[in-house]
Amino acid sequence: MTKQYFGSSQVPLTPAVRAGDFVYVSGQVPVGADGQVVGGGVAAETRQVLDNLRACLELAGCGLSDVVKTTVWLRDRDDFAAFNTAYAAFFPENPPARSTAESRLMIDIAVEIEAIAYKPV
């Protein structure tokens, strides 16, 4: 199986890797094009994270509709309803399987999301 690596990073990880028909996207955080964490609460952060996720997928020739599994980490379980509403807008039909957990995140953010997409080559 061949692997392709997409995106560049200043840290020791690759934003997206294609392995055969699957694309694995590293955990995305709510950082805008300026490199700063977006403000506005968990809904705004979720939208930015999913925009970043979409951009990684597009580098690998995929889209959000190809996502089959996401893993979500929320800083605070009380944010779940607002997160879920924002998340649902990005997956209006046939949403992927999802795991969601409350977790202390590595930087001061409310949400991080990683994904696996399936897109035959």
Instruction: Convert the pLDDT of each residue in 54-105 to its tens digit.
Output: 999 999 999 999 999 999 999 999 999 999 999 999 999 999 999 999 999 9
Q: Is the pLDDT of residue 1 over 70?
A: no
The domain total for the chain is 1
* CA 19 to chain CA mean position, Å: 18
Q: Is the pLDDT of residue 4 over 80?
A: no
Q: Which domain holds residue 58?
A: 3-118
pLDDT for the residue numbered 13: 77
Cα–Cα distance for residue pair 12/9, rounded to 1 Å: 7
CATH code, domain with 13? 3.30.1330.40
Instruction: Convert the pLDDT of each residue in 8-51 to its tens digit.
Output: 656 677 889 999 999 999 999 999 989 899 989 999 999 999 99
